[in-house]
Amino acid sequence: MDAITVTNLVRSYGTVRAVDGVSFTVGHGEIFALLGPNGAGKTTTVEILEGFRTRDSGEVRVLGQDPVTGGRGFRERIGIVLQSAGFEEEFTVRELLRLQATLYPRRHDPDELIGLVELVDKRNTRVKALSGGQRRRLDLALGLVGAPELLFLDEPTTGFDPAARHRAWALIGRLRDLGTTVLLTTHYLEEAQELADRVAVLRSGRLVAIGSPDELRGDGGAPATISFTLPVGVDPGDLPSLSGEIHTGGHTARVRTHAGVVDLQALTSWAVEAGHGLDDLTVSPPTLEEAYLELTGEAGHDR
Ligand SMILES: Nc1ncnc2c1ncn2[C@@H]1O[C@H](COP(=O)(O)OP(=O)(O)OP(=O)(O)O)[C@@H](O)[C@H]1O
């Protein structure tokens, strides 16, 4: 049985259908990312799965239970890492983790967790004296202390510097080895690409795509990019007509195209006939970010 099963989930607030008939499953041990623009319905969906919000209709099973009626037994099996947990500021890192651990029948060793989130140097520091990034790592350790079978991670690296983000990714990746299922929400496409086995994209309460990051890059309908160095003495206006848009910056030309093979052939035929080389020629598939922007209807907004 899957760790999470959602079937035709609906939740409205007044006239707003925040979640509008969403269905998906998450397998045991999978890292699953929920993506979507602000207001797409991610938080509503996740909070229904956590048992914090009710649904209007649809079926939800989390670790085989309905979160609404799961009760304490259910809560002990899930871990939740909030964006800013309101916890006791006067405790030290170690005290707080040890205290939290007593709430769970199953638990990870607090000292091992302190090592896992790289807070060994800060274990005797009071929570109120931690930096934002250190606090987020403590949040993660607190989410893990009950040895959850399923961990909910809400934007786990928001506010991290790039090095801390990469360390956090390595850490979250290691949860896979513990067999923990992870449901992640994030606005960082690179994060989803790096961590997630599968991603689901929500838009206005509906699921518009689901699959592995690579599947979404391929199926999302986003354009590929052909890039090359403009031959010496050639203006952009001299290039053959192509189905994709041509952008030039400095000596580099980029063609964003939905007809990569056709445009590539037109370009190379033109170059051979005119006796030009096409230095640094590359053809790149869309990134997950480009596929995402296409799927959410946001492509081209800021170009
Ligand atoms: N308690 C509430 N009362 C009324 N409307 C709500 C409430 N919570 C969410 N909404 C509305 O439901 C829709 C979905 O919101 P939700 O918070 O689930 O989106 P989200 O994808 O998590 O957004 P974000 O990325 O900004 O966190 C939005 O239109 C939002 O305004």
**Ligand 1 atom closest to Cα of 37?**
25
| pLDDT band, very low/low/confident/very high, at 83 (cuts 50, 70, 90) | low
What three-state secondary structure class fits 54? coil
Q: Determine whether the shortest distance from the Cβ of 36 to ligand 1 is under 6 A.
A: yes
DSSP 122: G
| pLDDT for residue 183 | 96
Radius of gyration of the chain (CA): 24
Q: Is residue 239 part of a domain?
A: yes
pLDDT tens readout for residues 152-170: 998 888 877 888 888 888 8
What the block records as the tokens of 236 is 């952009």
Q: Is residue 33 part of a domain?
A: no
| pLDDT band, very low/low/confident/very high, at 150 (cuts 50, 70, 90) | very high
| pLDDT for residue 84 | 55
User: Residue 269's domain spans which residues?
Assistant: 224-285
Q: Is residue 105 part of a domain?
A: no
**Ligand 1 atom closest to Cα of 41?**
18
pLDDT tens readout for residues 47-75: 999 999 999 999 999 999 999 998 888 88
Q: Is residue 270 part of a domain?
A: yes
Question: What's the CA gap between 102 and 255, in Å, rounded?
Answer: 59
The end-to-end CA distance of the chain, in Å, is 45
Q: Determine whether the shortest distance from the Cβ of 186 to ligand 1 is under 6 A.
A: no
> From the CA of 154, how far away is ligand 1's center (Å)?
14
Out of 9, 22, 38, 191, give the residue to mutate to test ligand 1, the one with the largest number of ligand atoms within 8 Å of its CB: 38
pLDDT tens readout for residues 161-216: 888 888 888 888 888 887 899 999 998 888 999 999 999 999 999 999 999 998 88
Q: Mean pLDDT throughout 238-250?
A: 87
pLDDT tens readout for residues 84-142: 556 678 899 999 999 989 888 888 899 988 988 889 999 999 999 998 888 888 888 88
Q: Determine whether the shortest distance from the Cβ of 103 to ligand 1 is under 6 A.
A: no
Q: Determine whether the shortest distance from the Cβ of 48 to ligand 1 is under 6 A.
A: no
Q: What does pLDDT average to over the chain? A: 89
Q: Mean pLDDT throughout 2-25?
A: 96
Contacting residues for 44 by C-beta, under 8 A, at least 6 apart = 11, 18, 19, 53
| pLDDT for residue 85 | 55
pLDDT exceeds cutoff 50 at 240: yes
Question: What's the CA gap between 303 and 300, in Å, rounded?
Answer: 5
Q: Is residue 183 part of a domain?
A: no
Out of 19, 22, 43, 53, give the residue to mutate to test ligand 1, the one with the largest number of ligand atoms within 8 Å of its CB: 43
| pLDDT for residue 302 | 45
Question: What's the CA gap between 245 and 225, in Å, rounded?
Answer: 10
Q: Please give the C-alpha separations between residue 139 and each of 43, 46, 224, in angstroms, as whole numbers.
A: 18, 18, 39
> From the CA of 54, how far away is ligand 1's center (Å)?
14
| pLDDT band, very low/low/confident/very high, at 303 (cuts 50, 70, 90) | very low
| pLDDT for residue 95 | 94
Out of 9, 13, 199, give the residue to mutate to test ligand 1, the one with the largest number of ligand atoms within 8 Å of its CB: 13
Q: Is residue 108 part of a domain?
A: no
Reported as half-sphere exposure (CB side, CA atoms, 13 A), residue 176 has a value of 12
Question: What's the CA gap between 286 and 217, in Å, rounded?
Answer: 6
For residue 174, the surrounding DSSP H or E stretch is helix 162-175
Domain count, the chain: 1
Q: Is residue 134 part of a domain?
A: no
| pLDDT for residue 40 | 94
With contact defined as beta carbons under 8 Å apart, do 219 and 258 qualify? no
Nearest residue (by CA) to ligand 1, atom 25, is 38
pLDDT exceeds cutoff 60 at 246: yes
pLDDT tens readout for residues 284-297: 888 888 888 888 88
Across-strand partners of 55? none
Q: Is residue 241 part of a domain?
A: yes
Q: Determine whether the shortest distance from the Cβ of 44 to ligand 1 is under 6 A.
A: yes
279 or 175: which leads in pLDDT: 279
